[in-house]
Structure 1
Amino acid sequence: MRRVLVFIVLLLISGFVNSQELSSRIQILAPNISNINKKNLELLQNTIRDFLNNNKWTSESYTPQERITCNFVITITSWDGSSGYTAEAQIQSNRPVYNSSYNSTLLNISDKDFDFGYSDGQSLDFSDQNFIGNLSSLLAYYAYTIIGIDKDSFSKLGGSSFYNKAQNVLNIAQTGGNKGWKAFDGLRNRYWLNQNLLDNTFKDLRIFIYDYHFNGLDKLQDNVSTGASNILALLPSLQQLDRQKLGSIFPNVYFATKAEEITNVLSNMVNPQDRIKAYNFLSDIDPANINKYEGLKKAR
């Protein structure tokens, strides 16, 4: 009987461990602050990692292999000597490509207003009903956004409910008075990223994210030519995007993240006319990264 109880407890523990969604790596830097305690930064680093990795962000269970890998590099630019930190963060998340060891980057964004208060040894608490602190709100917002983009890559518009959760965090965090949560705080902040992700104007781009990964990258191991051709066939759908809104944060961040990868994949097409066709589409859709797409004209 005792062995049965132990087995049940182990199963419950295993189920809990395997249920979390994120596998995050955190790095906190303070290169220009000489008087900051490095051990306290390590403690903060571990606290943030545990908050992201141990909280349940969905009602689903993820196996260890399904957990979403993400990286937060937080650079502290000033410290008030107590609990106030001014910082910037680089947030990146990845998605595995089917039947390969390659991870494709889904999100790679810089947050210039990653400011927060934290006292040494403090636990991070979060509520989806009330504002508790800017740090936990920042982390929850990005957790939901990361999961949303990951869901978008596996099913058409699959991330909408998580963008809505991120929007709820955003709305509540606006009461805290920190920058980056409101429209007038700038054009490239958390408010506008969330607004873009939920805006029907960018629906075609979100559908492209699904088709590009599920019907393009995930097919490469079976047939490189087929996967690349599938991606080429998707490019005309992006021409429906409103040209006046291509400078918005979502398409801007997405294409900056993907331009090199898309070029590398489409360079595998044997027919030079197909590569030129891809170049013409991409340079029209995303002129900001035209230098990267030049590789399509030089391939093979």
Structure 2
Amino acid sequence: MIKRIICLLLLIGFGKLQAQELNARVQLLAPQVSNISKPTLDALQKTIRDFLNNNKFTNESYKPQERIDCNFVITINSWDGGSGYTAEAQIQSSRPVFNSTYNSTLLNMSDKNFDFSFNDGSVIDFSDQNYISNISALLTYYAYTIIGLDKDSFSKMGGTFYFKKAQNIINLAQASGNAGWRAADGLRNRFWFNENALNPIFSELRNFIYNYHFSGLDQLTDNDKGLMPIVNALSSLQQMDKQKLGSIFPNVYFATKAEEITNILSKLNTQERMKAYNMLSEIDPANIGKYEGLKQN
């Protein structure tokens, strides 16, 4: 009887362990900080990784193969010798392409204001209803943003609920005084990325994320029938307000995807490639150099 109870508890624990949404890899760097020890850095890295991988951010159960691959590269620029760290981070996430071994990047965002306080040996507590600490808020915000983008790639506007969860983290964190949470903190920060994601002006971009991945990339494994849905999705993007194209959401997204889009659409015939090139040049002039490959035979 005791053995059966132990087995049941192990199964429950294993099920809970496998239910999390993120498969996060975390790397902490401090190349210019001489007063921080490697054991301290390693312990903090593990604490951040455990926070991302062991907390539940949704009410859904994810199978191990469904967990979202993501990377957090955090560079510490200074440490006050106590609990205060100034840092910046590069956050990436990707999703698999159906019936292939290829992973397509969804997010590649730089956060220059990743400052936080952390006492050696402590844990990072999780709450989506209260502001606990800046490191908790930062990691939770990006967890919801990563999940939101992943959901958008599998269903139209599927990430709205999670973008709203990220918005709630922003609202809770604004009173902390830490940078990146407010509109006045600059045009390329967490506040504006979230504002863009929830703004109806950018609904065509979110629909494009779905059409590009689900109707496009996921259909390319066996044949090229997914190419034209991508071209058609680009046509819908031309309806976006041209004055908003420099905003952080389209800017970050196309900087992430420009090279991949070029490689995928290079399979089109010459006429369709030029059509795609002309649309991309209008939609994303910042990366026009990457799209030049579409003009080549």
TM-score by length of 1: 0.97
CA distance in 1: counterparts of 2:130 and 2:5, whole angstroms: 39
Partner residue, 1:165: 165
- The yes-or-no answer on 1:208 pairing with 2:208 is yes
CA distance in 2: counterparts of 1:233 and 1:71, whole angstroms: 31
Shift of 1:14: 2.2
Partner residue, 2:78: 78
Q: Is the 8 A contact 2:108 2:252 kept in 1?
A: yes
Q: Is the 8 A contact 1:131 1:175 kept in 2?
A: no
Give the percent of matched residue pairs that are identical in Structure 1 and Structure 2. Answer: 66
Partner residue, 2:153: 153
Q: Match of 2:36, as an amino acid? A: I
Q: Match of 1:90, as an amino acid? A: Q
CA distance in 2: counterparts of 1:234 and 1:5, whole angstroms: 54
CA deviation vs aligned residue, 1:118-153 (integer Å, no higher than 9, x gap): 111111012222211100000000000000000000
Q: Match of 2:261, as an amino acid? A: I
Structure 1: give runs of 5+ residues left out of the alignment: none
Shift of 1:7: 3.6
Shift of 1:169: 0.6
CA distance in 2: counterparts of 1:220 and 1:279, whole angstroms: 20
CA distance in 1: counterparts of 2:128 and 2:29, whole angstroms: 29
Aligned residue runs from structure 1 range 16-95, under 5 A = 16-95=16-95
CA distance in 2: counterparts of 1:131 and 1:234, whole angstroms: 39
CA distance in 2: counterparts of 1:190 and 1:128, whole angstroms: 16
Partner residue, 2:286: 288
Shift of 1:214: 0.3
Q: Match of 1:259, as an amino acid? A: A
Shift of 1:10: 2.9
Q: Secondary structure at the match of 1:226?
A: coil
Partner residue, 1:176: 176
Partner residue, 1:261: 260
CA distance in 2: counterparts of 1:192 and 1:176, whole angstroms: 18
Q: Match of 2:227, as an amino acid? A: A
CA deviation vs aligned residue, 1:37-68 (integer Å, no higher than 9, x gap): 11101000000000000000000000110000
Shift of 1:226: 1.2
The match for 1:272 among 257, 270, 273 is 270
Q: Is the 8 A contact 2:128 2:140 kept in 1?
A: no
Q: Is the 8 A contact 1:68 1:94 kept in 2?
A: yes
Q: Match of 1:230, as an amino acid? A: P
CA deviation vs aligned residue, 1:70-106 (integer Å, no higher than 9, x gap): 0000011111111111000000000000000000000
Structure 2: give runs of 5+ residues left out of the alignment: none
Shift of 1:69: 0.5
CA RMSD, Structure 1 to Structure 2 (Å)? 1.0
Give the number of equivalent residue pairs: 297
